């Protein structure tokens, strides 16, 4: 067990620490709050929507299962020349991608300038020269980026939940068009209850077919891995070996998500309404 895992287990045992508010501010989209409990720091959209969680001593630590699962992209896209992350939040996923997947360049697109400010002030957003942060809407930005990236992360959420763009066919088409040949789209989508199917499942199936990969995680999210064309390999033995090599630097294992991976077409059929 790595030192980060040991620290995390210790923090779990210290759960009685009070959560303290560090900053509260407003922008055109609502209120934002930063709090801290022990060594964990949180970004909230509004009063209740917990958007990001970071370990103060390690800004690249991923606390949420869904962000850890998104790192599986590195198996198929090792050292991608250019990565793009739509939705910044506290910046933990961006930090982790830079540190562990080693893209040559990464652009993070965030709608809210205040979120960028908070991620820098409180969450240790990387100052790596490979990172560019753009304040813009995902919809506007992606329309200008055809055939421009090798790895594209979608994690677009607002106070009320999933952003409308992650339910719209035109936006997914634009995202796929932004991928270079061999590129990969990684989507953090909500799951429909415990169905094993993402929101907009039928729309996604029409656009991308039944063979892209997906994995459900404990928070109720479902992560989609959609190739620019063709199918992704699913060699679990090889993936386990890859995950084991990465585990010492991560401080946690990606094996649980590998075991849960399946083709979209293998998910249970949705009940007719």
pLDDT tens string 41-98 = 999 999 888 999 999 999 999 999 999 999 999 999 987 899 999 999 999 999 999 9
Query: What does the radius of gyration of the chain's CA atoms come to, in whole angstroms?
Result: 18
90 neighbors 118 (Cβ within 8 angstroms):
yes
pLDDT at 264: 93
Residue 260: phi and psi, rounded to 5, are -90, -5
Q: Is the pLDDT of residue 232 over 70?
A: yes
Which position has the higher pLDDT, 88 or 1? 88
> Which distant-in-sequence residues (6+ apart) come within 8 Å of 138 by Cβ?
86, 87, 109, 111, 154, 156, 163, 165, 171
Q: Is the pLDDT of residue 12 over 60?
A: no
pLDDT band (50, 70, 90) for residue 207: very high
3-state secondary structure of 54: strand
pLDDT > 90 in the chain, percent: 80
The dihedral through the CA atoms of 241, 242, 246, 247 has a sign that is negative
pLDDT band (50, 70, 90) for residue 2: very low
pLDDT at 267: 80
Cα-Cα-Cα-Cα torsion 208, 159, 268, 194, nearest 10 degrees, comes to 170
CA atoms within 13 A on the CB side of 100: 30
3-state secondary structure of 148: coil
> Which distant-in-sequence residues (6+ apart) come within 8 Å of 122 by Cβ?
22, 23, 34, 41, 43, 90
Full set of structural domains in the chain with CATH: 64-266 (3.40.50.150)
């Amino acid at each position: 067990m790595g030192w980060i895992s040991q620290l995390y287990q210790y923090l779990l045992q210290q759960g009685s620490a009070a959560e303290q508010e560090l900053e509260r501010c407003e922008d055109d989209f609502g209120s934002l709050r930063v709090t801290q409990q022990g060594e964990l720091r949180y970004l909230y959209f509004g009063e209740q929507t917990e958007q990001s969680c970071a370990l103060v001593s390690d800004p690249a630590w991923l606390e949420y299962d869904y962000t850890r699962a998104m790192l599986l992209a590195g198996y198929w896209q090792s050292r991608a020349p250019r990565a793009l992350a739509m939705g910044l939040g506290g910046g933990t996923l961006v930090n982790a991608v830079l540190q562990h997947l080693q893209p040559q360049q990464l652009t993070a697109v965030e709608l809210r300038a205040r979120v960028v400010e908070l991620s820098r002030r409180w969450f240790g957003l990387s100052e790596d020269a490979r990172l560019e942060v753009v304040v813009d809407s995902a919809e506007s930005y992606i329309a200008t980026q055809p055939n421009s990236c090798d790895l594209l992360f979608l994690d677009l959420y607002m106070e009320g939940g999933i952003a409308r763009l992650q339910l719209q066919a035109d936006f997914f088409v634009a995202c796929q068009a932004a991928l270079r040949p061999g590129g990969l789209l990684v989507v953090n989508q909500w799951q429909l209850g415990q169905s094993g199917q993402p929101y907009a499942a039928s729309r996604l199936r029409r656009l991308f077919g039944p063979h892209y990969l997906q994995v459900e995680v404990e928070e109720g999210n479902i992560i989609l891995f959609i190739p620019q064309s063709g199918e992704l390999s699913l060699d679990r033995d090889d993936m386990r070996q890859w995950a084991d090599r990465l585990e010492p630097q991560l401080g946690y294992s990606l094996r649980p998500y590998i075991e849960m991976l399946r083709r979209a077409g293998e998910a249970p059929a949705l009940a007719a309404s």
